[in-house]
Structure 1
Amino acid sequence: MTAFRAVVVDKGEQGYACGFRDFDETELMDGDVTVRVTHSTVNYKDGLALTGKAPVVRRFPMIPGIDFAGEVESSSHPDWKPGDAVVLNGWGIGETHLGAYAQKARVKGDWLIRRPAGLSAAETMAIGTAGYTAALAVIALEKHGLTPDKGPVVVTGAAGGVGSVAIALLSKLGWQVIASTGRPQEADYLKGLGAAEIIDRQELAGPAKPLARERWAAGVDSVGSTTLANLLSMTRYNGAIAACGLAGGMDLPSSVAPFILRGVALLGVDSVMAAKARRLEAWSRLDRDLDRAKLAALTTTIPFDQVIETGQKILDGTVRGRVVVEIG
């Protein structure tokens, strides 16, 4: 067995600790596929795991990181053989199962999907859980019957990972996108991704009215709390909001008025435990509909040794778009 480099978080008498160390293959958890990890990314959840700001990690010691791309090194699973290019998002890695911030990972083969032919390993991690979640949200709105001719779509947390990919996807599909952000200096960046209008997040920050002026037909929300309550109160008749995040809090100080008086729908989007068919649908759409030039414009690449500090930066709200971590 060989040693490899990994980020490890632990919790003991001295509190929460996070750092690099050598990890041995014998310490990896059970699984029928071992992957040589080449790339990962930093999502908001990863920032929480790296810093300990929220109880994302549920066993210690833990290798954090909820996404990886790489090549199969060994496998006893019938679907995978050495050399296969694979991607993994979610399934509890980095939380309950040793995760992506390591040069090797051992996982269940059922958790893996084949890397889409049109995407490089780095591009799949530029998308990552944030972008894959954005795709699931767009698909949820479409399955609810919403189309660009129904009216504009609002995207909150617009300069973040979910928001950036959602804007790029929605604008490509013909939607008029309203981007909500607390970073007005990112207006040119958001318009470059396809946003038609920028609004300050403070417009959605106050206590929500039961019903407010109708402003959009659909929305993708990664913030939650008061922001989501305001989105719902401003959604047009028979519109819907796809909710996929809680950066602003887990509460929802709303009323039933939007649901029973305007027929508004709240669509929950879970990416962690989504069935394989839904994952394949989302990745197929990303491969087909995501503009590669826009993906490159919203992506920053960092070396492996910068992943811990980047976790803090993403919580501080200073990271724009998506971050690719070169692990290989």
Structure 2
Amino acid sequence: MLITKENEEYKAALSDVSEDQLPEGDVTVAVEYSTLNYKDGLAITGSSPVVRKFPMVPGVDIAGTVIDSLGNQFKAGDKVILNGWGVGETHWGGLAEKARLKSEWLVPLPAAFSTKQAMAIGTAGYTAMLCVMALERQGVTPDKGDILVTGAVGGVGSVAVSLLAKLGYSVVASTGRADQADYLKELGASDIINREELSAPGRPLGKERWAGAVDTVGSHTLANICAGTKYGGVVTACGLAQGMDLPATVMPFILRGVILNGIDSVYCPIETRIEAWNRLAQDLDTKHIDLITNEIKLSEAISAASDLMKGTIRGRAVVNVNA
């Protein structure tokens, strides 16, 4: 898939390109699967100027097999994954049959996962794991109370619910899709609330409801989460589906010692990435991977990107780039 912009005309379409058009890099990968993340939806639909260079192949996630490598870190036949690093924004990404990449961006595929399963997890699941690790690092244990997950039917939310439930936490899932209650309970949610409880302007400080949170929404939702977090609780923020603003006060932070922990998955150090993927291999309930997976063909990715932006895709859209 190639995104072009000529004479202010922005277009995403399937195109044939020659291998010598691939960008610089020391590792060439035969891509097997990619995904559609929120950022990919923005790029493909042109809803936000996330693409910095044209033409651009979108796809912030890649899983495949090394074809050749100029260095010693990887060799032909190695299975690898990539998340972030500006791929799909400034460097050609995963919605293609081949990708040329920098070796320092790549993580060896954990033996527990196939390339398809790795992309069912993708940046969304890896980000969810980073959020869980941040909660653990700040001392939020299952005995401290409920953990709220917003945007729970989406990619980050689905994996976060599954991970937290398996680790013994009581999970409150927030969603605007009441018809997905059974899905969220199957993932392990113990309670489900309507996102409208959190999305409107609220009070500077509310009733203490949860010990921690994984928020993918931002804006008023994040402000209300902080206002409802228990004393000493931790809120991890990793998304801005409602907006990039934060109309909050300092009261939750200075009166209850609430910690707001930002989560960056794009430029996260390689050591932390490897730790997160190893934890996913250990802690993610593998039976949930199929439950959250929706496989599509590359030719279906443009229409699926529009559905993603409308919030009608459940879980993860995994793109088989060779189908």
Q: Spell out the pairing of 1:225-304 with structure 2 (5 A cutoff).
A: 225-304=219-298
Q: Which residue of 1 aligns with 2:195?
A: 201
1:147 aligns with 2:141: yes
* Residue of structure 2 in register with 1:57 after alignment: 51
The one-letter code sitting in structure 1 at the alignment partner of 2:284 is: L
| CA distance in 2: counterparts of 1:77 and 1:92, whole angstroms | 22
Superposition deviation, residue 254 in structure 1: 0.2
User: Which of the residues 156, 167, 178 maps onto 2:172?
Assistant: 178
| Residues 1:122 and 2:122 are matched in the alignment | no
TM-score, length basis structure 2:
0.99
CA distance, structure 2, for counterparts of residue 250 and residue 54 of structure 1: 13
Secondary structure (helix, strand or coil) at the match of 2:190 reads strand
Counterparts of 1:311 and 1:292 in 2: how far apart (Å)? 26
User: Is the aligned partner of 1:18 residue 2:26?
Assistant: no
Give the Cα–Cα distance (whole angstroms) in 1 for the partners of residues 158 and 94 of structure 2: 23
Count of residues paired in the alignment: 322
**For structure 1, which runs of at least 5 residues remain unmatched after alignment?**
1-6
CA RMSD of aligned residues (A): 0.7
Aligned to 2:31: 37
Q: SS at the partner of 1:79?
A: coil
Q: CA deviation digits over 1:135-160, x for unaligned, max 9? A: 00000000001101000000000000
Residue aligning to 2:307 = 313
Residue 14 of structure 1, CA deviation: 5.1
Q: Distance in 1 between matches of 2:71 and 2:44?
A: 31
Task: Tell me which amino acid in the other structure corresponds to 1:59.
Answer: K
- In 1, the alpha carbon distance for the partners of 2:119 and 2:65 equals 14
Runs of 4+ in 1 over 4 A off after TM superposition: none
CA positional deviation for 1:115? 0.2
The answer on 1:112 being equivalent to 2:110 is: no
CA distance in 1, matches of 2:28, 2:71: 10
Mapped partners of 2:175, 2:58: distance in 1: 28
Q: Offset at 1:208? A: 2.3
Provide the rounded CA distance (Å) in 2 between the counterparts of 1:206 and 1:85: 45
CA contact (8 A) 1:208 1:253 kept: no
The 2-side partners of 1:236 and 1:113 are apart by 37
Distance in 1 separating the partners of 2:153 and 2:206: 25
After TM superposition, give the deviation of residue 195 of structure 1 in Å: 0.4
Identity fraction in percent = 55
TM-score by length of 1: 0.97
Q: 1:126 touches 1:322 (CA, 8 Å); kept in 2?
A: yes
The reply to whether residue 163 of structure 1 matches residue 152 of structure 2 is: no
Whether 1:138 aligns to 2:132 is yes
CA distance in 1, matches of 2:263, 2:272: 11
SS at match of 1:10: strand
- The structural deviation recorded for 1:210 is 1.1
**Secondary structure of the residue that 2:14 maps to in structure 1?**
strand
1:22-64 deviation line (CA, Å, top 9, x unaligned): 0111111110000000001111111001101001101001000
Cα deviation code 1:88-135 (max 9, x no counterpart): 000000000011110000010000010001100000000000000000
- CA distance in 2: counterparts of 1:21 and 1:252, whole angstroms: 40
